[in-house]
Amino acid sequence: MSHKQKVRIGMIGYKFMGKAHSHAYRDLPFYFDLGIEPVLQTMVGRDKTSVKLASEKFGWLSYETDWRRLIEREDIDVIDIGTPNNTHVEIAIAAAEAGKHIICEKPLALNTQQALNMLKAVQKAGVIHMVSYNYRFVPAIQYAKKLIQDGMLGEIYHFRAQYLQDWIMDPGFPLVWRLRKDVCGSGSLGDLMAHSIDLARFLVGEIKEVTGMMETFIKKRPLGEMSGGLSASISGESFADVDVDDAVAAMARFENGAVGVFEATRFGKGNRNGNRLEINGSKGSIRWDMESMNTLQLYLEEDTPGMQGFRSINCTESVHPYGEAYWPAGHIIGYEHTFINLMHDFMKGILTNTNPNPNFEDGYRNQVILDAIEKSASAGKWMKIKY
């Protein structure tokens, strides 16, 4: 019999992120001995047939079609929000008022005001909260953070990030929720650059001002819906205007004097999930690319002249963050493990009654920066970041 503390999860949403989070809850006790056992209590979706199928496939004990009923239940400890962005605010505030711990997909909200309301609600309720910026949980990224904190790179001068995808380049790709401003808030800005901003804040520090530029290449698309993962189907013959960005570029100044350059696009032909960054400091540099996520490239000036160059560190040793939980050195992990590591920190937060990072405060700050980039793009000037 298990003596672990059971944490009963109610998850709203069952598609791409529903799959990633379900898998993480299921596998967490397999790798980490935390004294906690997540119970996949109830999965919620509006379409009964689809949510039933998904709940059975992903191993949930039951399903439900109304998220409000889920939140009222006493046998639920955590609300996991994996629904489109326009629904986050209402669900999160109701969940906080009901005293549930909350994990919410990114970006936290449609805009700064919503994110602030969500932050105030979780703070008032005193529940544990987290926002699912999963790339922080790549061991190579956590190790980069340690190297920077230990001063190995010296003073940081540059942060440079690209997040490039190409899944909507076909002009026939439909106007799904991820391309509608009223549902998602923004396009590649909130979907992709939000991740780079989270990594920038995590690795380098707070941003004090930004300037941005946004472009929409395909102005009209047929109506349609996401069908799972990043594929979609067209519904009917009507077309409508695209009101979010296909591509965005931004520059930033950090409070510590570093400068940042960010680029995100869904029109980067050939890049399926090209999430990359480079940081240059006075004593060294790092480079990282999600498509070979276990490798951290490190350059150190202190290396012997003649032998200097970027070395590839395979961050799978037991000394690397989360390294002990998985396999012997050199046996790599993948995308899904970023969510297992993230859930590890969330569950530990619940166990110790301490908010993990990134939490709703980070989600809110990220949203302030996203909104400032968008405002800058339309006003054509630099915007100060004010929290």
Cis status, amide bond into 84, omega within 30 of 0 = no
Q: Cβ 24 to ligand SOE, closest distance in Å?
A: 14
- Residue closer to ligand SOE (CB basis): 167 or 310: 167
**How far is the first Cα of the chain from the last one, in angstroms, to the nearest whole number?**
48
* C-alpha pair distances (Å), 22 with each of 17, 46, 205, 222: 8, 18, 31, 32
- Residue closer to ligand SOE (CB basis): 34 or 194: 194
Q: Cβ 84 to ligand SOE, closest distance in Å?
A: 11
Residue 191 makes contact with ligand SOE by CB under 6 A: yes
- Residue closer to ligand SOE (CB basis): 164 or 210: 164
Chain positions 204 to 243 lying near ligand SOE, rule: CB under 6 A, are 230
SS (H, E, C) the chain: CCCCEEEEEEEECCCHHHHHHHHHHHHHHHHCCCCEEEEEEEEECCCHHHHHHHHHHHCCCEEECCHHHHHHCCCCCEEEECCCHHHHHHHHHHHHHCCCEEEECCCCCCCHHHHHHHHHHHHHHCCCEEECCHHHHCHHHHHHHHHHHCCCCCCEEEEEEEEECCCCCCCCCCECHHHCHHHHCCCHHHHHHHHHHHHHHHHCCCEEEEEEEEECCCCEEEEEEEEECCEEEEEEEEEEECCCCCEEEEEEEECCCCEEEEEEECCCCCCCCEEEEEEEECCEEEEEEHHHCCEEEEEECCCCCCCCCCEEEECCCCCCCCHHHCCCCCCCCCHHHHHHHHHHHHHHHHHHCCCCCCCHHHHHHHHHHHHHHHHHHHHCCCEECCC
Q: Cβ 345 to ligand SOE, closest distance in Å?
A: 17
Residue 366 makes contact with ligand SOE by CB under 6 A: no
Residue 371 makes contact with ligand SOE by CB under 6 A: no
Q: Cβ 132 to ligand SOE, closest distance in Å?
A: 8
> What is the C-alpha to C-alpha distance for residues 234 and 173, in angstroms, rounded to an integer?
8
- Residues in contact with ligand SOE, counted by CB under 6 A, come to a total of 6
- Residue closer to ligand SOE (CB basis): 80 or 191: 191
Q: Cβ 263 to ligand SOE, closest distance in Å?
A: 15
Nearest partner of 200 among 147, 260, 149, judged by Cα: 260
- Residue closer to ligand SOE (CB basis): 192 or 343: 192
Q: Cβ 125 to ligand SOE, closest distance in Å?
A: 26
Residue 265 makes contact with ligand SOE by CB under 6 A: no
Residue 148 in tokens = 């920077």
- Residue closer to ligand SOE (CB basis): 142 or 285: 142
What x-and-dash track marks residues 272-291 binding ligand SOE by CB under 6 A? -x------------------
- Residue closer to ligand SOE (CB basis): 230 or 300: 230
Q: Cβ 205 to ligand SOE, closest distance in Å?
A: 23
Residue 77 makes contact with ligand SOE by CB under 6 A: no
- Residue closer to ligand SOE (CB basis): 262 or 299: 262
Q: Cβ 80 to ligand SOE, closest distance in Å?
A: 15
Q: Cβ 15 to ligand SOE, closest distance in Å?
A: 10
- Residue closer to ligand SOE (CB basis): 37 or 166: 166
φ and ψ of 86, to 5 deg: -70, -15
Residue least distant from ligand SOE (Cβ): 191
Q: Cβ 83 to ligand SOE, closest distance in Å?
A: 13
Residue 359 makes contact with ligand SOE by CB under 6 A: no
- Residue closer to ligand SOE (CB basis): 144 or 342: 342
Residue 165 makes contact with ligand SOE by CB under 6 A: yes
Which residues are at the interface with ligand SOE (CB under 6 A)? 16, 165, 191-192, 230, 273
